[in-house]
Structure 1
């Protein structure tokens, strides 16, 4: 598969008017193919493997937040990066998930061609599915290169998206507590 993707990158370079045989570009198609496969490795991952049974009994029913999880994704419209951070919270109902698993869930979905709105919801749904939580909240803040490098070229714009499930949707107080806690850093 890498070889096939590499051939397409070579054609793209030629289509741009470049000489893919010149010294600086000779290995670029293969490097670009490997980079794209790495940046999209979320397609090779599944939730069960990532979580790997890292669910633990807990009597806690208080909000758990993992804040500032860096994420790197590719906009499915322009294949340009968007870079930011995710804040993920859930309210356990007898089980908590291993801390690193939350970050791995974020990465699994971020390492696919995405739009931020869908990414936010996919993370929330996955955490809900795994934990059976009373509620899950996800907020993502990201800068999009498709908006910064082309088009309107707005360098300081940040997109914020949220997904609120369960008590985070039904209880304004719970939602407000979450939003205050992620802003208080």
Structure 2
């Protein structure tokens, strides 16, 4: 199912009226169509299967450079993402750091970015988003371990309630070899210290 843009437009007009605004005034006249376009973009991942991005793998032993096998984890840092919190429909955004211990098959790094983007393009909570990313990589790639660290700022914390503009939330999801904190300590250090 794709976003029903016409319905979003109607509901946006109704919402504007419900808060006492005139949806026909010049500043708001295009808002319903803009909201429909925005929601189509923000929620494009609702019906998309993240596994499709992991379908094209490369054999590390029979691939183009078998002498360059990775002996450790593959870590992709600073994947920018944005999502919408399902509790208040306010945005949250930040950085995803994704690592995996490859087995026989690896995947292009862009595919990992697509997995993050697909799963973030749904109404979400950060904790579940990290778990879904870890599950997708763990279940659809040949891995011995997966680690996902998300660091995000939430509109429900920065713009309402406690109004803490500098606050961010960090979550960790781990599978396989990275379930034990000691096993992931090196990666956590690499994620946290790369800007130094």
TM-score by length of 1: 0.95
Runs of 4+ in 1 over 6 A off after TM superposition: none
In 2, Cα distance between the equivalents of 1:152 and 1:116?
A: 18
Residues 1-185 of structure 1 aligned to structure 2 (within 5 Å): 1-51=4-54, 53-58=55-60, 59-170=69-180, 172-185=181-194
**What CA distance in whole angstroms lies between the structure 2 residues aligned with 1:88 and 1:60?**
16
Asked whether the equivalents of residues 53 and 112 of structure 2 are also in contact (C-alpha less than 8 Å), the reply is no
Secondary structure, in 3 states, of the residue corresponding to 1:74?
A: strand
Offset, 1:61: 4.3
| 1:61-95 CA distance string (max 9 Å, x none) | 42000000000000000101001000000001111
- Output the CA distance in 1 between the equivalents of 2:35 and 2:86: 17
SS in 2 for 1:164: strand
Runs of 5+ consecutive residues of structure 2 not aligned to the other structure: 61-68
SS at match of 2:114: helix
TM-score, scaled to structure 2: 0.90
Separation in 2 of the partners of 1:101 and 1:48?
9
Q: Partners in 1 of 2:192 and 2:58 — Cα distance?
A: 28
Return the alpha-carbon distance in structure 1 between the equivalents of residues 50 and 169 of structure 2. 26
- How far has the Cα of 1:8 moved from its partner? 0.4
Which is richer in helix? 1
Residues 42 and 110 in structure 1, CA contact (< 8 A), matched pair in contact too = yes
Secondary structure at 1:11 match in 2: helix
Q: Helix, strand or coil: the match of 2:27?
A: helix
Deviation at 1:181, TM superposition (A): 1.2
For structure 1, the 5+ residue unaligned runs are: none
Q: 1:49 to 1:131 in 2, by over 3 A?
A: closer
